[in-house]
Amino acid sequence: MSEPAPPNARVRREDALLIAYYGDDFTGATDTLGTAARAGMRSLLFMGLPTDAQLRRAGPLDCLGVAGAARSMAPAAMRAALAPVAARFASLRPRVVHYKTCSTFDSAVFVGNVAVAVEVFRGAGVGVSAPTMIVGGQPSLARYCLFSELFAAAGEAVYRIDRHPTMSRHPVTPMLEADLRLHFATLGLHGVSSIPYPVYTGGMAAVRERVQALAARGSTAILFDVAAQGDLSLIGESLAADAHHDAPLLAVGPSSVVEALATQWGRAGAPQRDGVAPASGPVLLLAGSLSPVTARQVAAASSYRMLRLDAARLASGDASYCGQTAARVAAHLAAGEHVLVSTSDGSASAGVAADTLARAGGELLARVLAACPVKRFGIAGGDTSSLAMSALDAWGLSYVSRIAPGVALCRLHSDSPSLDGMEVMLKGGQMGPDDLFEAFVHGAAAPAH
């Protein structure tokens, strides 16, 4: 569990839950966990809806997360998965309920529809006393929102999201519209108004005046521009002003939502716990992302035994192939080798459903870890992480340290002694430097901010 932080008497009681968030994939959920923990908030990420016993075991929390896979779901499946989460969050009465999206906001009408999530949470009584608040960028990950248009870095260049070399061509949720107001309208969330970043020059009074005016006009949601990290302080102050335990505020966006709230509710001087120590034994990595960033990381991973999987056979449920592959991976680990298992060869996985392949990868991972438990493993790919982790008998993750911007090292909590305490890295396809997988084995100093 993350280290308890002394309560800030200005804004919280010892037993007051400040933020409850749902991560629409596991990688993003761990980034939000790390964001809260580095701000000094007592934080824990649950792998599913927390039971009363698990909540008692966790102790008082400032920030409670639930990791999910809604990003890869059709609307009907999203409603079924999110309805109990929304009801549970409403009963916990946090000040803010955060629906955590990818920082690139990629979402489609029939896959991972963010508008459906907003509908479900508001239907459970969350966020009904104020417009839904959307934080449009995350400068810590080189994501920016200017006059409602989203921009994201790719290498050293920054692109409008509909011209981004990866996100405009995403195989499942390509971003074809940069104006987030129009993007959300396409998804079904209409009436999104905006707070353009020049308003921030007028300070908190100007921001609050604009928010209140838009709410009075009946705006369904309010989008905040984010041009620089410093903008998050004003945004956080505005969000906190509308957040109450008797009527939780609904906020949508990446981890910058928690970054903004941490400017109000975090603990000054909290330990950053950055960097990663060298692994104390063999490391297992499962790479399922088609991102060129992950491809470069795989190419640079010279310390691993590389195993390329037959995606079609794995996804088909070929029991013989899965069993032989799991035994082969376990044998290499038992011999002390680091192993990188890759399902990310685009040509090999053509025609294979991404969710089916991710679930099959998770079942393979579970079999390998049962045969040869390791102290540290990682998964690359948002959907892969979400669906693969669901195959493990684990109930929570706590934060250990930040390996790279947007990439957290966590500790696994499980009732299974062989899994409990394992270190795990879940990283999105776009996240991390080229040498990330090498650092995961050999250790690395604190990453640059």
- C-alpha 383/C-alpha 365 separation (Å) is 15
The residues, any chain, with a CB within 8 Å of residue 366's CB and separated by 6 or more, are 391, 392, 393
β pairing state of 221-224 and 192-195: parallel
Asked if residue 196 lies in contact with residue 148, where contact means CB atoms within 8 angstroms, the answer is yes
- C-alpha 425/C-alpha 385 separation (Å) is 9
Residue 110: CA count within 13 A, CB half-sphere: 1
What are the tens digits of pLDDT across the range 221-251?
999 999 999 999 999 999 999 998 788 999 9
Consecutive H or E run containing 413: strand 407-413
The pLDDT value recorded for residue 384 is 75
- Looking at residue 243, its amino acid is A
Consecutive H or E run containing 149: strand 149-154
φ/ψ of residue 260, rounded to 5:
-65, -45
The pLDDT value recorded for residue 20 is 97
Closest to 109 measured CA to CA, from 60, 45, 167, 174? 174
β pairing state of 157-160 and 283-287: unpaired
- Judged by phi (left if over 0) then psi (alpha if -120 to 50, else beta), residue 385 lies in alpha
Asked if residue 221 lies in contact with residue 189, where contact means CB atoms within 8 angstroms, the answer is yes
Residue 138 has what DSSP assignment?
B
Closest to 20 measured CA to CA, from 62, 68, 83, 81? 62
Residue 169 has what DSSP assignment?
G
Q: What is the CATH number of domain 283-442?
A: 3.40.980.20
Asked if residue 78 lies in contact with residue 120, where contact means CB atoms within 8 angstroms, the answer is yes
Q: At what angle do helices 114-123 and 75-92 cross, to 10 degrees?
A: 40
The pLDDT value recorded for residue 347 is 41
Domain with CATH 3.40.50.10840 in the chain: 19-265
Domain with CATH 3.40.980.20 in the chain: 283-442
Give the residue carrying structure tokens 């995961």: 440
The pLDDT value recorded for residue 87 is 96
Stretches in the chain below the pLDDT threshold 50: 1-13, 346-348
β pairing state of 396-404 and 407-413: antiparallel
**Hey, what CATH topology would domain 19-265 get?**
Rossmann fold (3.40.50)
Consecutive H or E run containing 158: strand 157-160
The residues, any chain, with a CB within 8 Å of residue 201's CB and separated by 6 or more, are none
The pLDDT value recorded for residue 11 is 43
The pLDDT value recorded for residue 302 is 92
Asked if residue 145 lies in contact with residue 223, where contact means CB atoms within 8 angstroms, the answer is yes
Beta bridge partners of 283: 376
Q: Report yes or no on whether pTM surpasses 0.75.
A: yes
**How many Å is the Cα radius of gyration of the chain?**
21
- C-alpha 384/C-alpha 286 separation (Å) is 9
